[in-house]
Structure 1
């Protein structure tokens, strides 16, 4: 029976890892549908290459920083023959699962800096974020590194900072790091040259919608399987994720006046926000959390891109940064017993932890992308942007046969 339980945990976590891995296809197609046609190939290549770089950086450095475990031992030790490694390769599938979370950081950033970022600097930044910056917050929150959960949150604020599936650790960190990259990079060529210009149209609503659907489906692995064992599974997490998604969709539909881009991102906004408290909230609280997240995304995307002139192509700062921040706070509101939640959380702890995590993401993003800019030069030239990232970086477009026939290449 013990071996069956161990094998069940390995299989459970492996299925979770595969579901979250599939979400990276969602990141890719969401960006493909949102960017202009001459940047679609670049969007696809970036997400795949970023995942590979993230895997290597997290394998050699990041996982060790977060959890103190190195994989530079024998294969027999890796599969449970040494201290720190679970039986039947449990620690290995845990790495795979958490690696897909880590790789979400550059995938989030990718959408914000699309169409004007050079490729090599972005790859270097991915290695720095996933290898060094992200593991520090991951280990602090999920492994009690540095003792902050005990000394700051538990002792002074009444409860550990609670982030079940990463509203702050993954999404807020990634969204605020993306803002640092966006501010360093500046807007695309011609984006704000003419007063009254509100934006550039997406290249494909169907591809955008496909990306959103892939992310929504994979998110149930992201949230539910954050339990990391069969014994800890809770149907409440699935229900709360579903209700938050619905709330985000409906709010974005109303506030965004039926805009399909807002509707499909509204689903993601709700799911981002519910990650932190999906295991402690009541479904009604999750519905409200998701609805507020949908409102936040639409309103702040418009404010950022139109009034504040922040050229965030996919709206990753409002979607992940702000909705993730809201999710951390919402856990401290709707997770309390007074509002139907399971309890074990305090608003003070969630408030401080959410602000600290978001601020750390912004500082990390500014440092990392300033560094790669100084070393490599981060921004494509105006002529390279005019030609498009596909031809400039990859020497091929999304429809090469058509380009050959028309003489474009």
Structure 2
């Protein structure tokens, strides 16, 4: 990688150009340390920028899989998600997630980044782009019938409360899933490398709560049978999917938190092996089931593989990543069918299955496939990996148990608190637009504009 090349060039320069005195050796060591720090700062800036681009991917997937009459509304929701996310995570979210710990449950300082330095600003930038993603997941699942004002209020609460509280439990270093009585009782800390649980499960199960309360779109179910409501642009949906996949370079790669981490390349390799496996298995399943490979479900298979590998990508082998992605694809297909045929919920983009169900599988996969860092492991000496081996690699049930605890907590927290918030919003504001407005489309009703004015004029 480029930072490794730069580091090597610096070392060569200092070895062959500088005198070999003890004083100079100390100066060289300090210079190398400074360079490593600078490269890490730059890597997190770049990785955060790549993750930021994922919001464009989410927008394109969502508008592609929904109808033309709601395009401007969806674009506004996603645009305001990141805009609100920036300010809310600066004011409140970062402090709750990474501030001084209170009882392993919540952070209580650093609001408005008070007392921040270069390291905190750098960390805030990288974590902020993650924080808004949870609300974006909810946006897709509740598309085409949700009141714009209600969604904005929910977004604020997602970034200020729902996401950072659970994030504190997992990533702060002092939360209940990495230290304290739960970890002491099981004997090992929870591991979620880049957020299968923190980002995706929280977003997915929050979306489930919202979809259950807002109800299905008009015409989605006929006599209890799910009916297809085609999206208006498969090219946009596929372009968005590929942008999201590119975003995972920053999402997972940046989560090494260190530009000098020797295992960053393994993280990236595992990420895309799982993605490919997820897409391929869904294509095969839909081909066998219907006689034709389904494009939108296949795209979701790729995303499911990415979501599933997000937690274990720094802890498993390439073959483990392949299996994890394969099962992630199966889960997303079964999950979409379960949601429509059993739960009777309407999720236009499949966000609940992709992010919720596959996210939970990613957490469980750590407890099964983690290689550990013991002598002889390919991850010997790795810094950002599960501390013990998983069940399939002789590590016993401890890691699997703590991962299952995290799965339960993520579901209970995200679904429970989101259900309460959405219920209050429904009573106070009204979560769903009127039937008349839904039929007319949210672009004209909510924003007084059409995303495709020529198309609208042609229809008239």
TM-score scaled by structure 1?
Answer: 0.92
**CA distance in 2: counterparts of 1:145 and 1:368, whole angstroms:** 27
**CA distance in 2: counterparts of 1:367 and 1:244, whole angstroms:** 35
User: Residues 114-133 of structure 1 correspond to what in structure 2 (within 5 A)?
Assistant: 114-133=143-162
| Unaligned runs of at least 5 residues, structure 1 | 79-84
Match of 1:18 in 2: 49
Q: Is the 8 A contact 2:90 2:113 kept in 1?
A: no
- 154-163 or 380-389, which deviates more: 154-163
- Higher fraction of helix: 1
The Cα shift of 1:224 comes to 1.0
Aligned to 2:315, the other structure's residue is in SS state coil
Question: If you compute each CA radius of gyration, which structure gives the higher value, 1 or 2?
Answer: 2
Q: Is the 8 A contact 2:176 2:183 kept in 1?
A: no
Q: Is the 8 A contact 2:170 2:176 kept in 1?
A: no
- 392-401 or 292-301, which deviates more: 392-401
Pick aligned residue for 1:201 from 196, 207, 230: 230
Q: Is the 8 A contact 2:48 2:125 kept in 1?
A: yes
Match of 2:110 in 1: 70
1:39 aligns with 2:70: yes
Q: Is the 8 A contact 1:243 1:287 kept in 2?
A: yes
Q: Is the 8 A contact 1:153 1:161 kept in 2?
A: no
The 1:30–1:233 alpha-carbon spacing in structure 2 relative to 1, beyond 3 Å, is farther
The Cα shift of 1:198 comes to 2.7
**CA distance in 2: counterparts of 1:381 and 1:233, whole angstroms:** 55
Pick aligned residue for 1:254 from 284, 303, 316: 284
1:97 aligns with 2:150: no
Aligned to 1:150, the other structure's residue is in SS state coil
Match of 1:59 in 2: 90
Once the two structures are superposed, residues 282-311 of structure 1 have per-residue CA deviations (whole angstroms, 9 ceiling, x without a partner) of: 110111000101011011102211343111
1:380 aligns with 2:429: no
Pick aligned residue for 2:411 from 358, 361, 369: 358
- Relative CO higher for 1 or 2, CA cutoff 8 Å, sep ≥ 6? 1
> Moved runs in structure 1, 4+ residues, more than 6 A?
none
**CA distance in 2: counterparts of 1:273 and 1:97, whole angstroms:** 21
Q: Is the 8 A contact 1:153 1:159 kept in 2?
A: no
Query: How many positions carry a matched residue from both structures?
Result: 395
TM-score scaled by structure 2?
Answer: 0.82
**CA distance in 1: counterparts of 2:435 and 2:128, whole angstroms:** 35
Once the two structures are superposed, residues 301-349 of structure 1 have per-residue CA deviations (whole angstroms, 9 ceiling, x without a partner) of: 02211343111111111110000000000011011459x8856241111
Q: Is the 8 A contact 1:9 1:229 kept in 2?
A: yes
1:174 aligns with 2:203: yes
The Cα shift of 1:144 comes to 3.3
The Cα shift of 1:279 comes to 0.6
The 1:71–1:351 alpha-carbon spacing in structure 2 relative to 1, beyond 3 Å, is closer
**CA distance in 1: counterparts of 2:153 and 2:134, whole angstroms:** 13
**CA distance in 2: counterparts of 1:353 and 1:150, whole angstroms:** 13
Pick aligned residue for 1:276 from 303, 311, 320: 311
User: Residues 191-270 of structure 1 correspond to what in structure 2 (within 5 A)?
Assistant: 191-194=220-223, 196-232=225-261, 234=263, 235-257=265-287, 258-270=293-305
